[in-house]
Amino acid sequence: MRELIFEWDEQKENANVNKHGVYFEEATSAFFDGHALVFFDPDHSDDEDQFILLGLSIKLRTLVVCHCFREEEAVIRVISARKADKEEEQEYWGLRS
Work out the pLDDT band at 44, boundaries 50, 70, 90. low
> In a 3-state reduction of DSSP, which class is residue 21?
coil
CATH number at residue 31: 3.10.450.530
Domain count, the chain: 1
Question: Model-level pTM greater than 0.85?
Answer: yes
Residues 40, 29 contacting (CB under 8 angstroms) = no
The whole domain housing 51 covers: 5-96
DSSP tally for the chain: helices H, then strands E: 3, 5
Could you report the per-residue pLDDT of 77-92, keeping only the tens digit for each? 999 999 999 999 999 9
Q: In the chain, what percentage of residues exceed pLDDT 70?
A: 93
Could you report the per-residue pLDDT of 22-35, keeping only the tens digit for each? 999 999 999 999 99
